Amino acid sequence: MVEEKMRYSDADLAEFKEIILQKMEKAKADLDLIKSAYMNDLNNGTDDTSPTFKAFEEGSETMSKEANSQLAIRQEKFIRDLKNALFRVENKTYGVCKVTGKLIGKERLKIVPHATMSIEAKNLQR
């Protein structure tokens, strides 16, 4: 009987760490963009002084700010999940399914580097 690997090799973990760091860098840049749009930092125009269709524009602007706020919350959660994944890389538990205890597939981890469950475990949840 062949015993299944219980963790990824140090070389694999180094590769995953690089992927996570790249995704985290991009996620932080995206969060900065979302926040600047949410806080209206980039708008120094006179759009807010024009009386034309003011009520419609204000409603639309409020909806846009709410949508950006939701995006920012999701992005912050994604960054937190990536930080947790980095922690698991450091303590060499990265890539182990928290439900089955088996290794999560490499391809899944390359696409979803913060995954904590294998496809098998995800399907059991349904």
* Token pair for 26: 């991009």
SS (H, E, C) 63-101: HHHHHHHHHHHHHHHHHHHHHHHHHHHHCCCCCECCCCC
* pTM > 0.85: yes or no: no
Q: Which H helix or E strand runs over 107?
A: helix 106-111
Give yes or no for a contact between 94 and 8, defined as CB atoms under 8 angstroms apart: yes
Q: What is the pLDDT along the chain (126 residues), one digit of tens a residue?
A: 444 568 999 999 999 999 999 999 999 999 999 888 777 644 555 555 555 555 555 556 666 778 888 999 999 999 999 999 999 999 999 999 999 999 999 999 999 999 999 999 888 887
Q: What is the distance of C-alpha 11 from the center of its chain?
A: 24
